[in-house]
Amino acid sequence: MMSFPSKDTNSQTLFKWPWRRESPLSAQLLIDIPPEIELSDYRRLPSSGSESPSRLLDGEGVKEEPIPDLDIFFERLYEYFCTKGLRCIITKWIIEILNVLFTVCCIGFFFLYVDWNAIGHLKCGVEALESGEKPCDLMAAIKHNPLVPFTFPKMVTVGSMIILVTYGLINFLKFFVQLKSTLNARDFYYNSLKITDLEIQTISWPRIIEKVVLLQKSKKLCVVRDLSEHDIIMRIMRKENYLIGMVNKGIISFPIRPWLPGAGPTVKSHVHDRRNHVILPKALEWTLNWCIFQSMFDSKFCVRKDFLASPAALKKRLVFVGIAMLILSPCLVIFPLVYLILRHAEEIYNHPSTASSRRWSNLSRWIFREYNEVDHFFRHRMNNSAVHSLNYLKQFPTPLISIIAKFVSFVSGGLAGALIIMGFLGESILEGHVSSLSAPSVFLLHAFYAPSKISHP
């Protein structure tokens, strides 16, 4: 079983690796290595007890190539396990590309091609027959020149489509860039661990780590020292551990108002002894990943010395990304909005109360996460703790929100009930009076019913 160190563990002790027993000659050679350099890409050395050169008597058998970078290799190994095989990886890649294309088409069609003003004046069905007009033609509500005139909202829409297409193109090329390492991970599962794609769908992650540790004892994946389960997990979780430490130490804190959405716990600032609030929205997490975690490690997965010695370069990088995100912020708003509608529209339509249900915020996820806790274990722990978290939050009621929610539920529920009663008394009442509001009675009923369910205490 893998053990997870507590959060108050000194970060320096996490990266001290226990040396395995070496011969006096190899031990003396390793003493001269600087302590800050991690030996993650050393090739396999011949055994010190062997009198003949390595592989001299092996013949022309299949030669196993050494693993040049164990950190990247273990990351691919874990990603392959989470995705459950090569077929699932390819299928997921195709589905992601199709999702991006579908989202781009939806944004372009509904925001550029559809004339919503023309749709409001169309008369269809019984209304068209009573007025003596021709049946409505939906093609009349389609714009033939959607970019004329090219207004600011259209520019924002086109910008969001360009960003989405760029994102899809990057994912498309990323698959081919990582294809070789993915195939290497597949070969390692098949040939070394003897685990097929069918077995990987049911096998547990601790069992895979156990097989890797046993393989280390026979084939020496790392020639400098033996690898334990804890060592492998630490290599996979390096970037996440840094972010968890930044959140726990209150480094990502800003002087913001406590009523702002996403404001977390307060920490003491070193400037004027004031209290700052920890905040970590998804956009800030992406920025930290681009500016820090993607450029702070070298080929040996150690922190680069020039990265620590040049804070001005990091400051310029953060300012540049911040300005770019500020300029692109109108375009970045459209994609989450459309994605939210496409993903949750059916759920909200059938179960409106889910719109007001509680969920884990991005900051609470990283506060709740432990060091060296891999992603699928963490998601499993979050799902199991959801019910207990809701019961805990119920101990701290919000009377102001409850009063407003009861009022909204009372008004919307009363109007929806009035429409239902009028429907039972006679349809002519709805056709003569309610339809004069230029809205169908069914639409009004849903419009009143949804707020009643969402605001239900």
CB burial of residue 247 (10 Å; 0-12, 13-18, 19+): buried
| Total tally of structural domains belonging to the chain | 2
- Give the chain's mean pLDDT: 76
For the chain, what percent of residues have pLDDT higher than 90? 25
The pLDDT value recorded for residue 25 is: 35
Strands 275-278 and 253-254, by their bridges, are antiparallel
Please report whether residue 209 resides in a domain: yes
The pLDDT value recorded for residue 40 is: 39
Domain residues for the domain of 419 are 399-454
Judged by average pLDDT, the poorest of 1-5, 173-177, 319-323, 397-401 is: 1-5
Q: Where are the beta strands (DSSP E) in 265-407?
A: 266-268, 275-278
- Residues 328 and 158: beta-carbon distance below 8 Å: no
- The whole-model pTM stands at 0.72
| DSSP symbols for 34-85 | -TTS---SPPPPPPTT-SS-TTSSSTT-PPPPP-S-HHHHHHHHHHHHHHTS
Task: Copy the structure tokens of residue 213.
Answer: 């540790």
Asked if residue 112 has pLDDT above 70, the reply is yes
Q: Where are the beta strands (DSSP E) in 311-411?
A: none
Please report whether residue 118 resides in a domain: yes
Residue where one domain finishes, among candidates 200, 230, 260: 230
Please report whether residue 73 resides in a domain: yes
Judged by average pLDDT, the poorest of 44-48, 151-155, 253-257, 314-318 is: 44-48
> Residue 133 and residue 189: Cα distance in Å, rounded?
69
Please report whether residue 93 resides in a domain: yes
- Residues 232 and 221: beta-carbon distance below 8 Å: no
> Residue 396 and residue 197: Cα distance in Å, rounded?
47
Give the distance from CA 363 to its chain's centroid.
Answer: 13
> Residue 362 and residue 359: Cα distance in Å, rounded?
10
Please report whether residue 360 resides in a domain: no
Residue where one domain finishes, among candidates 160, 195, 230: 230
- Residues 334 and 153: beta-carbon distance below 8 Å: no
- Residues 406 and 453: beta-carbon distance below 8 Å: no
Please report whether residue 420 resides in a domain: yes
The listed range with the strongest mean pLDDT (105-119, 124-138, 238-252) is: 238-252
Please report whether residue 140 resides in a domain: yes
Residue where one domain finishes, among candidates 180, 195, 230: 230
Task: Copy the structure tokens of residue 93.
Answer: 């890649």
Give the distance from CA 381 to its chain's centroid.
Answer: 17
Give the distance from CA 387 to its chain's centroid.
Answer: 22
Q: Would you place residue 169 in the very low, low, confident or very high pLDDT band (cuts 50, 70, 90)?
A: very high
The pLDDT value recorded for residue 410 is: 75
Nearest residue to 210 via CA among 228, 222, 194: 228
> Residue 437 and residue 132: Cα distance in Å, rounded?
21
> Residue 310 and residue 281: Cα distance in Å, rounded?
26
The listed range with the strongest mean pLDDT (136-145, 244-253, 268-277) is: 244-253
Please report whether residue 436 resides in a domain: yes
The pLDDT value recorded for residue 440 is: 55
